[in-house]
Amino acid sequence: MIQYLIKYRRSTRELLQCENLGSDRALAMNRRLNEERAHKDNPDIEIVLLTASSHEALIQTHARYFKSVPELAAALAAAVPGFPGPGETRLTKVKSRRNRRKK
């Protein structure tokens, strides 16, 4: 399994760094601790160490670091029947279904 060091700016939802650290967990943990110390006074910076079989798997399991809010909403709407898509409210979805039934 591959260790990935993620540096993320919470306020702007911006991925600042995604570094493949290989499979050495101890080395990866030391890097994460060093990064956390470097940014300890900045609560806007999130440092995370994640493990995945590949970069593609990492994107799939931790999409919030890699995709925009509209992209996440669209993926959720596609995966969950009845969940409103981007720009759509739950009420809009319900009204739309009611109108289809009346016809």
What's the number of domains the chain is made of? 2
Grouping H, G, I as helix, E, B as strand and the rest as coil, residue 23 is coil
Q: 88 and 78 share a domain?
A: yes
Q: 18 and 60 share a domain?
A: yes
Q: Tell me: the pLDDT tens digits for 82-100?
A: 777 666 766 555 555 555 6
Q: 9 and 35 share a domain?
A: yes
Query: What residues contact residue 29 under an 8 Å CB cut-off, 6+ apart?
Result: 49
Give residue for tokens 């669209």. Answer: 74
Q: 45 and 10 share a domain?
A: yes
- Tell me which DSSP letter residue 25 carries: H
Q: What percent of the chain has pLDDT over 70?
A: 82
pTM score of the predicted model: 0.73
